Structure 1
Amino acid sequence: MAVLRRRGRAHSVFSHEFVIHNRADIAAALVLIVLGGLMFEVTAKTSFMFISPQHNVTSTTPDGDVVYYVYGTSDCATISFYIFITIILHAVVQEYTLDKVNKRLHLSKVKHNKVNESGQLLLFHLGTSAWGIYLAVTEGYLSAPSSLWEDYPHTHLTFQMKFFYLCQLSYWLHMIPELYFQRVRKEEVPRQLLYIGLYLAHIAGAYLLNLTRAGLVMAVLQSVAELVFHMARLQYFTNSDRQAL
């Protein structure tokens, strides 16, 4: 079953147009193949490697055994799976929300692209801010700020912390093929690649250098700032009568 509604003439299977218009369905098919692998004993272990964070270690504490995670090569498989998930979500938000807003407002092509960009990033940074604040509270970083740097390196991660970083990496890596899917103008590509590269450097650097605690706080602060910026930007481009924000 198709993930998104399809309108307009059919395109050749091997054409660029076919890939662009059906990217969500292609990604959904790959996700279903991985999920279907869980049904069979022979492939279940491989499929589980794509779906759930790997490289877990058990640590013995006075309260019992606790499972933590470290980074490793199997993270590449997990990240690739969630890249496809993110492509699907990106396409759903685009078709069912942003395209309808653009159609209703009759925006110019430049404003259309800006609204698409800010709309996607607004939702992402909203989710990052909420999730990051929740982690900072539950992990005790706000009640004990010294834990951000004490006992470095912080090699062991909880499930939530590792999953947060894997999802962050998946999102920013998926933004690279989205430059092609969204038909971003050539003159805009360098700016977009720099933007994506800076985020990847921050997230991957914090993850690989065991600076995940400080990286989490920095990511939240940046996302809150970006959230306000993209809210103001959407207001500016979609409502010319009220541009005070």
Structure 2
Amino acid sequence: MAPPSAVLKKKTTSKNPPIFSQEYFIQNHGDIASCILMVLTLGTIVKATSSYCAAFFGPRHNVTNFDSFNMIPSALFNYGYKDLLMLFSYTLICITLHAIWQEYILDKLNKKLHLSKSKNAKFFESGQLILFYIISVILALMIFKDESYFQSGLNYLWRDY
């Protein structure tokens, strides 16, 4: 006769969805994006691939003008089709940060709060919006600092209006 522990064991089924299914990408989007970013970052270290991978992390659409009066031209960059790789990598960075925020902050808080399903959805939506608002305010303050709006006072915004 079989021991009682062997009889009581349930057969566990795999909860992992099949690879390359939509559910797989939804569950693992942060891991996939971070792996792609790691490959691109390691590609910048290797000398053979650094010129290709560097296009993912900086502006590439150069519009520097050379004139005869200025012997040392400053590099000017504009937006263009060459910046699509940078846009792709920045999108991957945002996806990775979103997954980190979701997994390490919101999921931990949700377990402590024991919310219902409807409040759970509102909690996660509000949590993502808070992250977006914080990043937007930080970027706006950085732009204000770079454009020196704080030194000249905010009346500069209304001049010649």
- TM-score, normalised relative to structure 1: 0.50
- Alpha-carbon distance in 2 for matches of 1:148, 1:75: 34
| Relative contact order higher in (CA < 8 Å, ≥ 6 apart) | 1
> Among 35, 45, 50, which residue is 2:56 paired with?
50
> Among 114, 120, 124, which residue is 1:116 paired with?
124
Corresponding residue for 2:76? Answer: 68
- Alpha-carbon distance in 1 for matches of 2:57, 2:157: 33
Between structures 1 and 2, the one with greater strand share: 1
- Alpha-carbon distance in 1 for matches of 2:20, 2:142: 44
- Alpha-carbon distance in 2 for matches of 1:79, 1:110: 35
Q: Give, as a single letter, the amino acid of the residue that structure 2 aligns with 1:13.
A: I
| Deviation digits for residues 181-212 of structure 1 (CA, Å, limit 9, x no counterpart) | xxxxxxxxxxxxxxxxxxxxxxxxxxxxxxxx
Q: How does 1:143-154 map to 2 (within 5 A)?
A: 143=152, 145=156
| Deviation digits for residues 110-144 of structure 1 (CA, Å, limit 9, x no counterpart) | 22122112212212221221222122123224427
Structure 1 residues 23 and 58, CA gap change in structure 2 (3 angstroms): same
Q: How does 1:90-239 map to 2 (within 5 A)?
A: 90-142=98-150, 143=152, 145=156
Corresponding residue for 2:6? Answer: none
Q: Is the 8 A contact 1:58 1:68 kept in 2?
A: yes
Q: Give, as a single letter, the amino acid of the residue that structure 2 aligns with 1:113.
A: A
> Per the alignment, in what secondary structure is the counterpart of residue 69 of structure 1?
coil
Once the 2 structures are TM-superposed, how far is the Cα of residue 80 of structure 1 from its aligned partner?
Answer: 0.9
Structure 1 residues 70 and 117, CA gap change in structure 2 (3 angstroms): same
Asked if residue 15 in structure 1 is aligned to residue 5 in structure 2, the reply is no
> Per the alignment, in what secondary structure is the counterpart of residue 68 of structure 1?
coil
Once the 2 structures are TM-superposed, how far is the Cα of residue 85 of structure 1 from its aligned partner?
Answer: 1.2
Corresponding residue for 2:10? Answer: none
Please identify the structure whose Cα radius of gyration is greater: 2
Asked if residue 80 in structure 1 is aligned to residue 81 in structure 2, the reply is no
Q: Give, as a single letter, the amino acid of the residue that structure 1 aligns with 2:115.
A: L
Query: What root-mean-square deviation, in Å, do the aligned CA atoms of Structure 1 and Structure 2 show?
Result: 2.9
Structure 1 residues 58 and 146, CA gap change in structure 2 (3 angstroms): farther
Paired residue total: 141
Q: Is the 8 A contact 1:28 1:85 kept in 2?
A: yes
- Alpha-carbon distance in 1 for matches of 2:157, 2:92: 37
Once the 2 structures are TM-superposed, how far is the Cα of residue 53 of structure 1 from its aligned partner?
Answer: 2.0
- Alpha-carbon distance in 2 for matches of 1:17, 1:28: 18
- TM-score, normalised relative to structure 2: 0.72
Once the 2 structures are TM-superposed, how far is the Cα of residue 92 of structure 1 from its aligned partner?
Answer: 1.0
Q: Is the 8 A contact 1:35 1:47 kept in 2?
A: yes
Structure 1 residues 148 and 90, CA gap change in structure 2 (3 angstroms): farther
Corresponding residue for 1:238? Answer: none
Asked if residue 29 in structure 1 is aligned to residue 35 in structure 2, the reply is yes
Q: Percent identity?
A: 35
- Alpha-carbon distance in 2 for matches of 1:147, 1:75: 33
Q: Give, as a single letter, the amino acid of the residue that structure 2 aligns with 1:125.
A: Y
Q: Give, as a single letter, the amino acid of the residue that structure 1 aligns with 2:81.
A: T
> Per the alignment, in what secondary structure is the counterpart of residue 67 of structure 1?
coil
Structure 1 residues 73 and 22, CA gap change in structure 2 (3 angstroms): same
